[in-house]
Chain A
Amino acid sequence: MATIEINGKTYETNEEGFLIHPEDWSEDVAAALAREEEGIDCLTEEHLSVIRFIRQYYLENNLAPMVRSVCKATGFPLRHIYELFPSGPAKGACKVAGLPKPDGCV
């Protein structure tokens, strides 16, 4: 178990940097996760539109969206998603959006 600290408050993450309690998430937490985990110093509006969509989808479906849905919702071509989040949609975007680690080869 690891932790990240934001404005004096501590949040628990697992060994791979995913939030233990997805409900801890806020856009401040996202900014911290992006810095720590993805090396993104400042989240742009483009990052945020991906993150907000993934977050909303997760809250409604208790699932991460397929990358196809992310592209459709944001209007970004697939390759741009990988440019925005170098670790990819799972270990990059979903992690920053505060989702738990998905099952499978990720």
Chain B
Amino acid sequence: MSISVIPADAIEEKIQKLTEKDVKRILTVFREKLDANAACSLYSCVHCGLCADSCHYYLAAGEPEAMPAAKLDLVNRVFKKYHSLIGRKLPQLAGANPLTRELVRNWVDSLFGRCTLCGRCSLSCTMGINIFSLIRAARSALAAVGLVPPGLQSTVDTAIRSGNNMGISKENWLETVAWLEEELQNELRDPRLRLPVDRKGAKILYAINPREAMFFPLSISAVGKIFHAAAEDWTFSSANFDVTNYGLYNGDDEAAGIMSGRLLRAAEELDCRELVLAECGHGFNSNRWEAPEWLRRKQSLRVRSILEVVAEHIQNGRIKLDASRNAKLHTLHDPCNLVRLGGIIEEQRYILKHAVGDFVEMHPNREKNYCCGGGGGQLAMTNFARRRIEAGKIKTDQILATGAEVVATPCHNCIDQLMDLKKHYKLAIEIRTVCEIAADALIIEAKS
């Protein structure tokens, strides 16, 4: 894991030093990221305000700057100024502004600091504008001149430099896998249990969130246990095991392509037929949906979420679960990137239906669910941490209303935010991955 100490005002210093060339670069990259649809939609906002109540930032603090339309307007003003006749000739009438230092500062503050790219506002947009993707395009432009908040940028840099976003060495990764394998063998009293690494020709390459190996490995053991029970044909990679891709959040498509490309190549080189992604919302969206765009090529193999694999094993009877082992009342938080933006909606419910005794939905749920507040790179941007916790009040209230004792969520990023919310709002809840819950319910027949 890499650690760097960066002064908090590093971004302000960079804004002060912006040259005309930098501003031109921001505008060029921003223009490059917009296709015809996106450009049209920049003219489409009718300021109806229906998006306001869809955003957890606005709902939690009521600041007008947090309204999605207001965030979009920051972007609109600049686009109109440089790409519309009326904006060039009569900027005041068109609501157009040149990209000044002040506006760049507002872009950083609002587009990085008041948005989790959760996409919920697009559901309520009268005009169907993909607000979050326009905000991401503006983030890309800021990234081109180094204006990404420090913790988010260093997470991308660490991944590019070391192959995973926590800078875990190959040696430490392999040692952790060997340790978990031994622990599982002891727990299940089965010396033949394996957590295979670099097994050529395995059907599945399974990729994890480095956070699991570094600090929370019980979720790796859970999947290992499920794969063992299902006699799954799978492997880890020794070099490329990271499912995350913070390029989705900082807007750097080139870096994003490098990260997703490594994972795909690792699967290809091991002759795997499938890349299976751990419980990670943005990692799923990145590697399942965005990677072909970033890499400009078709997926050469099947890419699935671990939830799809586990649900299939339950359905086919390859694993059996005893729901009475998870007797507490469970609820489910839907990660935005996996559900609203990823399309994995019912699999987690199907698994929990078989794995827990008592389940209650939070409301709203599925594609209408509120963001936990930790997405969009917020966890990595310490300078915006207070807003993140404040915006998490909406999720907190949703959880409290269920009365649940356990919150399941198939995303490690959401888990970390929920842990922060639990601490701040003093919630009496356990927070677990779906596979951890399923693994506890597994019926493992004794093998002779």
Residues of chain A touching chain B, judged by Cβ–Cβ distance below 8 Å, are 1, 14-16, 18, 20-22, 58, 62-64, 66-69, 71-72, 78, 86-91, 99-106
What is the interface of chain A mostly: helix, strand, loop, or mixed? loop
A66 to B: closest C-beta gap in Å: 5
Q: Contacts A91-B419, A99-B3, A103-B158; is A63 near B179 (CB within 8 Å)?
A: no
Residues of A within 8 A of B429 (CB): none
Asked whether A15 lies within 8 Å of B386 as measured between CB atoms, the reply is yes
Q: Which residue of B2, B172, B384, B416 contacts A105 across the interface (Cβ within 8 Å)?
A: B416
A86 to B424, CA, bound (A): 13
Most interface-central of A14, A16, A71, A105 (chain B CB within 10 A): A105
- Nearest-CB residue, chain A, relative to B166: A104
- Which of A67, A69, A72, A100 sits near B4, CB closer than 8 Å? A100
Asked whether, in the complex, the Cβ of A105 is within 8 Å of the Cβ of B154, the reply is: no
Number of contacting residues on B, CB 8 A? 43
When distances are taken between beta carbons in the complex, the residues of chain A under 8 Å from B333 are none
Whether, in the assembled complex, B385 has its beta carbon less than 8 Å from a beta carbon of chain A, the answer is: yes
B172 touches A78 (CB 8 A): no
For A15, what are the chain B residues with a Cβ–Cβ distance below 8 Å? 382-386
Binds A, one of B104-112, B139-147, B189-197, B215-223: B215-223
A67, B175: Cα distance in complex, Å: 11
Q: Which of A1, A18, A64, A71 contacts B1 (CB 8 A)?
A: A64
**Would you call B5 and A67 a contact (CB within 8 A)?**
no
B98 at the A/B interface (Cβ < 8 Å)?
A: no
Per the bound structure, the CA–CA distance linking A24 and B398 in Å amounts to 40
Rounded to whole angstroms, the CA-CA distance of A15 and B381 in the bound complex is: 10
Closest approach, in angstroms, between the C-beta of A51 and any C-beta of chain B?
15
A-B interface, 10 closest residue pairs, ranked by CB to CB distance from nearest: A15-B385, A103-B155, A89-B215, A104-B166, A105-B413, A104-B165, A68-B176, A105-B211, A103-B158, A100-B3
Question: Bound state CA distance, A15 and B390, in angstroms?
Answer: 13
- Binding site of B, secondary structure by majority: helix, strand, loop or mixed? helix
Decide if B235 is an interface residue (CB 8 Å cutoff). no
Q: Is B379's beta carbon under 8 Å from chain A?
A: yes
B119 neighbours in A (Cβ, 8 Å): none
Least distance between A12 CB and chain B CB atoms (Å): 10
Task: Give Cα A58–Cα B4 distance, bound, in whole angstroms.
Answer: 12
Query: Which residue, A15, A69, A72, has most C-beta atoms of chain B within 10 A?
Result: A15
Q: Which B residues are in CB contact (< 8 Å) with A16?
A: 382, 385
Can you list 28 A-B contacts with CB-CB less than 8 angstroms, sorted by A residue number?
A14-B385, A15-B385, A16-B382, A20-B5, A62-B3, A63-B3, A63-B167, A66-B172, A67-B215, A87-B419, A88-B419, A89-B214, A90-B215, A91-B416, A91-B419, A102-B2, A102-B214, A103-B2, A103-B155, A103-B158, A104-B1, A104-B158, A104-B209, A104-B244, A105-B209, A105-B211, A105-B380, A106-B416
User: In the complex, what's the smallest C-beta–C-beta distance from A72 to chain B, in angstroms?
Assistant: 8
B158 in contact with A67 (CB, 8 Å): no
Are A68 and B217 in contact, CB atoms less than 8 angstroms apart?
yes
Specify which chain A residues have a CB less than 8 angstroms from the CB of B218 in the assembled complex.
78
Interface residues of B in 145-202 (CB under 8 A from A): 151, 154-155, 158, 165-168, 172, 175-176, 179, 183
Contacts A15-B385, A66-B215, A104-B211 known; 11 new A-B pairs at CB < 8 A:
A16-B385, A66-B1, A68-B172, A86-B423, A102-B166, A103-B1, A103-B380, A104-B166, A104-B214, A104-B244, A106-B416
> Is the C-beta of B412 less than 8 angstroms from some C-beta in chain A?
yes
Report the minimum CB–CB distance from A68 to chain B (whole Å).
5
Complex: how many Å from CA A53 to CA B214? 16
Query: Which residue in chain B gives the minimum CB-CB distance to A22?
Result: B5
B179 touches A87 (CB 8 A): no
Q: For the complex, is B213 an interface residue (Cβ under 8 Å from A)?
A: yes
For residue B8, which residues in chain A have a CB less than 8 angstroms away from its CB? 1, 14
Which residues of B have CB within 8 Å of A18?
Answer: 382
Tell me whether B257 is interfacial, beta carbon within 8 Å.
Answer: no
Q: Of the candidates A21, A62, A99, A104, which one forms a contact with B210 in the assembled complex, judged by CB atoms under 8 Å apart?
A: A104
Cβ–Cβ contact A66 & B244, under 8 A:
no
Q: Give CA–CA (A90, B423) in the complex, Å.
A: 14
Give the CA-CA distance A43 to B416 in the complex, in Å. 24
Q: In the bound complex, do residue A88 and residue B382 qualify as a contact, i.e. CB atoms below 8 Å apart?
A: no
Distance, CA A73 to CA B435, complexed state (A) = 29
Binary contact readout B1-22 vs A (1 if CB under 8 angstroms, 0 otherwise): 1111100100000000000000
Option from B154, B380, B423 in Cβ contact (under 8 Å) with A87: B423
A26 smallest CB distance to B (angstroms)? 18
**Contact residues in B for A66 (Cβ distance below 8 Å):** 1, 168, 172, 175-176, 213-215
Query: Is B175 a contact of A106 with CB atoms below 8 Å?
Result: no
Given A103-B158, A105-B379; A67-B167 close (CB under 8 Å): no
Q: Give bound CA distance, A71 to B151, whole Å.
A: 28
Look across to chain B and name the residue whose beta carbon is closest to the beta carbon of A77: B183
Q: Please report the C-alpha to C-alpha distance between residue A91 and residue B413 in the assembled complex, in whole angstroms.
A: 14
The smallest beta-carbon distance between B303 and chain A, in angstroms, is: 20
Q: Are A101 and B209 in contact (CB under 8 A)?
A: no
Closest chain A residue to B221, Cβ basis: A78
User: Could you mark each residue 279-297 of chain B with 1 if its beta carbon is under 8 Å from any beta carbon of chain A, else 0?
Assistant: 0100000000000000000
